[in-house]
Amino acid sequence: MTEMLPCDICGGLDACSVLQKDGGTYVRCAGCGFVYAWPRPDSVEDVNEEYFAQTLEEYVRASFSKKRQRRYRRALRRFAAFRGSGRLLEVGCNVGGFLKAARDLGWDPVGVEPVAPCARYGRQEFGLEIIPATLDRAELEAEIFDFAYSNAVFEHLPSPCSVMAEIARVLKPGGVVYTKTVNFDSYTREQLGATWKLLAPSGHLCLFNAETLSAVCRKAGLEVFRVESNGVRVRKGPFESLRKGAYSTLSRFTLRGDRIIVWARKPDRFPATHALCGGRERCRETPAGTKRGTKPIVSRTRRISTVISRDDRRQRMGDRPPLRTEKCRA
Quote the CA–CA distance of 293 and 131 in Å, as a whole number: 39
**Under 8 Å CB-to-CB from 201, ≥6 apart: which residues?**
21, 22, 24, 25, 26, 37
First and final C-alpha spacing in the chain: 27
Residue 7 or 255: the one with the smaller Cβ distance to Zn ion is 7
Distance of closest approach, residue 195 Cβ to Zn ion, in angstroms: 27
Closest CB to Zn ion among residues 146, 185 = 185
Amino acid identity at 169: R
Sheet with 15-21, side-by-side order of all strands: 15-21, 24-29, 35-37, 206-207
Residues that bind Zn ion (CB under 5 A): 7, 9-10, 12, 29, 31-32, 34
Collapsing DSSP to helix, strand or coil, 293 comes out as coil
Question: Measured from the CB atom, is 10 or 112 closer to Zn ion?
Answer: 10
Q: How far is the CB of 302 from Zn ion (least distance, A)?
A: 15
Least distance (Å) between residue 9 CB and Zn ion: 5
Least spacing, CB of residue 7 vs Zn ion, in Å = 3
Please name which of 212, 189, 218 lies closest in space to residue 299, comparing C-alpha atoms. 212
What radius of gyration do the chain's Cα atoms show?
19
Query: Measured from the CB of residue 143, what is the shortest distance to Zn ion in angstroms?
Result: 29
Give 173 or 287: the residue with its C-beta nearer to Zn ion.
Answer: 287
Q: How many CB atoms lie within 10 A of CB 25?
A: 19
Angular region, 173: left φ>0, alpha ψ -120 to 50, beta rest: beta
Kindly tell me the number of DSSP H helices and DSSP E strands found in the chain: 11, 11
As measured in angstroms, the least distance from the Cβ of 156 to Zn ion is 19
